[in-house]
Structure 1
Amino acid sequence: MRGHLDAARAAQAHAEGERDAAAANSTIAADEIATLRQRLDDQATEHHYQLEQRDMEYSRAITAAHTMADRAACEHRDQVSEILRTYRGQISPMHTDRQVEQHDADLHDANLTEANLTSANLTAANLTGAHLTAAKLIRTDLRGADLTGANLPQIDTITALMWSTETRWGRRDVDEIRARSVELRAGVFILNPTGQQVDTLVDH
């Protein structure tokens, strides 16, 4: 009988030892999990902070780029205005008393990007290598002008531009220009004429 009691006590002691070991292991595992969770939380916080810092840097860079672009645009507009002021005596409205006198403007390599050249008289002007991208060419007179190597706007953005057989278009496809033009008189053409101009020319 005593042998059974001793065995029972030994088994109970063993079970309690395993329970205590399991509890200790559980505590260790819980601590490790808590440590890992804290580490993950710290990493997530650091990553979020880095993303915020990166977003702020991107925002500052974009703002700086916009500021630089605005400043460059203003400087370019000032340059174009200065060019137009410089050649004010050579670039004149077409329908003025000075039309016949104003010609032969030397604008080679001039930066006239987005310049408003509406009704400008550029007869026989030297526009070789000029930058006319997005320039407003409406009723502009380019008879006899030299546009060799010039960067011109898209043809479909040009309206009622006057040119002649002496006009040198450089790299521009002359056949396309001729196809889009009507002859005003011998050797003089209107590129992309308005409907009213077409009607007038047809009537005559």
Structure 2
Amino acid sequence: MMTSLFSVFDPSSSIFNTPLNWLSTSLGIMFIPYLFWVAPSRWSLLWMKTIYYLHTEFSTLLKPPYKMSTILFISLFSLIIFNNSLGLFPYIFTSSSHLIMTLTLSLPLWISFMIYGWVNHTKHMFTHLVPQGTPSLLMPLMVLIETISNLIRPGTLAVRLAANMIAGHLILTLLSQSGASLTFPLLLLLLLSQILLLILEAAVAIIQSYVFSTLSTLYASEIN
């Protein structure tokens, strides 16, 4: 039962055993109209305001030499929100609900932050292992706790995004499977609940994109 339930999230379209569903990651470019690049519109104004807001938020977390790196985290936000939003459409593979995709985003970022921090700011990285005001007896324990919490950061980023995206899709799948055996009044109630869940999933898609990019910015701010 559970194997067949989770199998709906596996890539199924393929040519010569090469999965094609992962191409949905680049489908967001096709949904941007040509006028977005030529003439200003409401959509472009909304998106530019979103980018400006994200740039302001991320700039407050980064120090002056690294403020221009906000474009990296804004691009990360754009990629995740495109994939999360496209997963709400029928028959479109949700790549952000798989750990392969989310770990591909979080692990290289974390490794690059760690390499840069330990090579260029070694003393600063050591000070993060022992919080200020820690008693001498607790210092070895705090170093162990901070090291473990630092090592699991890419995993928590990846699991948080994948779990939140797959949870709502599972609920929608479970509810839709019971539609054939319901009476008409219950079917209307089911459709209403599905619409409300889709609205909730749209909000989750935006929130998780913002959380992922904001946490990545926070991790980057700790190394400078």
TM-score > 0.5, shorter chain as reference: no
Tell me which structure has the larger Cα radius of gyration.
1
Q: Report the TM-score, using the length of structure 1 for normalisation.
A: 0.21
Q: Which structure dedicates a bigger proportion of its chain to helix? A: 2
Q: Report the TM-score, using the length of structure 2 for normalisation.
A: 0.19
Q: Which structure dedicates a bigger proportion of its chain to strand? A: 1
Structure having greater relative contact order (Cα 8 Å, sep ≥ 6): 2
